[in-house]
């Protein structure tokens, strides 16, 4: 299946500030409400492959080690979302105070 547009409902969802721990890099970042995890990770000097940056291509898929995810992408199916083991860090966010990523 190919998708060509980001989901529309995500732009109306509340943006909150949360913390992201990068397990491999040993860094903990604050992700403010006006930035994506991808931006915060890039600002910390950690490189992640990206393409669309709209949650539709899957290039930035990142393994999640712990934390509840607010999935905002159009890539993962319901089962993958429920598993909570990966996320698209260009658009998806935390559904809580903290996420731990395998970066």
Where on the chain is the footprint of ligand FES (CB under 6 A)?
50-53, 55-60, 73, 75, 88, 90
Q: How far is the CB of 49 from ligand FES (least distance, A)?
A: 8
β partners of residue 93: 70
Q: How far is the CB of 75 from ligand FES (least distance, A)?
A: 6
Secondary element (H or E) of residue 61 = strand 61-66
d(CA 69, CA 2): 23
Contact 60, 90 (CB under 8 A): yes
8-state DSSP, 10: G
Q: How far is the CB of 63 from ligand FES (least distance, A)?
A: 14
Nearest to ligand FES of 56, 69 (CB atom):
56
Cβ neighbours of 79 (radius 10 Å): 7
Nearest to ligand FES of 2, 26 (CB atom):
2
Nearest to ligand FES of 41, 88 (CB atom):
88
Q: How far is the CB of 45 from ligand FES (least distance, A)?
A: 19
């Amino acid at each position: 299946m190919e998708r060509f547009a980001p989901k529309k409902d995500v732009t109306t969802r509340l943006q909150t500030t949360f913390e992201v721990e990068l397990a491999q890099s040993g860094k903990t970042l604050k992700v403010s409400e006006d930035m994506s995890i991808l931006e915060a990770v890039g600002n910390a000097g950690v490189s992640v492959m990206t393409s669309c940056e709209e949650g539709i291509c899957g290039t930035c898929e990142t393994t999640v080690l712990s934390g509840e995810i607010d999935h905002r992408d159009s890539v993962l199916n319901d089962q993958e979302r429920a598993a909570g083991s990966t996320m698209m860090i260009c658009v998806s966010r935390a559904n809580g105070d903290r996420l731990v990523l395998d970066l």
